[in-house]
Chain A
Amino acid sequence: MGLLLETAAAFVGTIAFGILFVVPSSQFLVCGLVGGIGWVVYAVTLANSSAAVASFMATVVIVLLARILAVVRKVPTNVIMIPGIFPIVPGIGLYDMIYNLMIGDTASGVSQGLAVLKAIGAIVFGIIAVFSLPNRWFRKRPKIVARR
């Protein structure tokens, strides 16, 4: 039940970011689905593993879906990927880092900062990994026209 509500929140939140980035309304559903699926992957992996692994897995799924769907829908990959990646931003970790550094608890601030850095590093690595796949894997096959 909790996961279902969270996925719904990720779906709605992704579409809201789509509106902020002026994504065409015909792509809202795709953006929302990618955001929701990304969150499901993140939550399921997080339950069995660490935050860094979960961020990496979710990023790979999101960017892979974005690349495939971008070809299908004939839009640039950024249109689907950028809103879709927002749900896995390590927000609470960032907040804790800032807060602890501010109140002078440097030790916890730095250790939380490193955890955040790991999560962000995993996201960066995920994006780079999927974009190093060759372009032709994603290209549509040209239609074969019957000749007489």
Chain B
Amino acid sequence: MGDLKKILKLTAGVGEELIRCGAEISRVEDTMNRIALHYGVTGRQIFIISNGVFVNLEKGEEAKNVSFQHIPQISVDMSKLCELNSLSRDIEQMDLSLDQALARFECVRGGKKKNIWQYIAASGVGAGSFCYLFGGDAKDCFGALLMGLILWFFFTAVERYRLPKVVLHTLGGILATSGCIFLLRLGLVNHLEQTIMGSIIPMIPGVAFVNGIRDIADSDYISGSIRLLDAMLIFICIAAGVCIAFRLFGMGGV
């Protein structure tokens, strides 16, 4: 593999992974420019939107190399974000060679083995403590904790079917709300609204929302509006799920 090809592989790969794990556009752009400059390209054109990376690198008069990457799905992973960040810092400060940097990048891209029970527990604990913040009492918190566990277990179980986001979050809303209504009828929780809000909070698209705002603040308007639309769509799906569940149980009006 030629030198320029390797630089391109590293630059485009880092950009792709950064977007995938939840970085804002300006960071991706900055990191890619730094890496390309450090390995001495003579010309570079980089364009990034929230689901694609376009790079053209030049070295000398003749050699040119172009890469287009489509990034259809985002899976938030802040550990990967930290590791890519320190990789780019080390490339500049410790002067890593191209092969060393590529080897370390492949290692980061591979990721770590994830323990699903850890996430299920976190979803439960998060739902329970947020239910308390919304003003629920001890019984409501335990109800929300239970529903948070069940909700994430459901998400983990259906992950391999690759359901569309819309369907997934509507089903999640239905599941959490019907579970809460069930718990209320059994007398295990006292306040329906705090319990429901607590149990659906693990689904709230916080990363898309915050990144959307940051992109707009950096005047990356296209990526920002796409991300805010994404967050809004997910929120509407959750709300629709809640309404469907209320109707199924014959609660709430006509």
Chain A residues within CB distance 8 Å of chain B: 5-6, 9-10, 12-13, 16-24, 27, 39, 74-76, 78-79, 81-83, 85-87, 89, 91-92, 94-96, 98-99, 102-104, 124, 127-128, 131-132
Contacts and interface: CB of A to CB of B under 8 A. Distances in A.
Contacts of B234: none
Nearest to B236: A98
Given A12-B125, A17-B206, A98-B239, A78 B78 contact: yes
A16 B126 CA distance: 5
A27 B134 CA distance: 26
Nearest to B243: A102
Contacts of A22: 76-80, 114
A17 B119 CA distance: 9
Of B121, B130, B204, which is in contact with the most chain A CB atoms at under 10 Å from its CB? Answer: B130
Contacts of A17: 122, 126, 202, 206
Contacts of A131: 214, 217-218
Interface of B: 22-24, 27, 76-82, 85-86, 89, 114, 118-119, 121-123, 125-126, 129-130, 132-135, 193-194, 196-198, 201-202, 204, 206-207, 210-211, 213-214, 216-218, 239, 242-243, 246, 252-254
Contacts of B253: 102-104
Contact of B217 (A9, A104, A132): A132
A132 B243 CA distance: 39
A94 B231 CA distance: 14
A81 B133 contact: no
A24 B6 CA distance: 29
A89 B80 CA distance: 26
Contacts of A19: 118-119, 121-122
B27 A91 contact: no
Contacts of B23: 76, 78
Contacts of B86: 74
Nearest to B75: A22
Given A102-B252, A132-B217, A13 B125 contact: yes
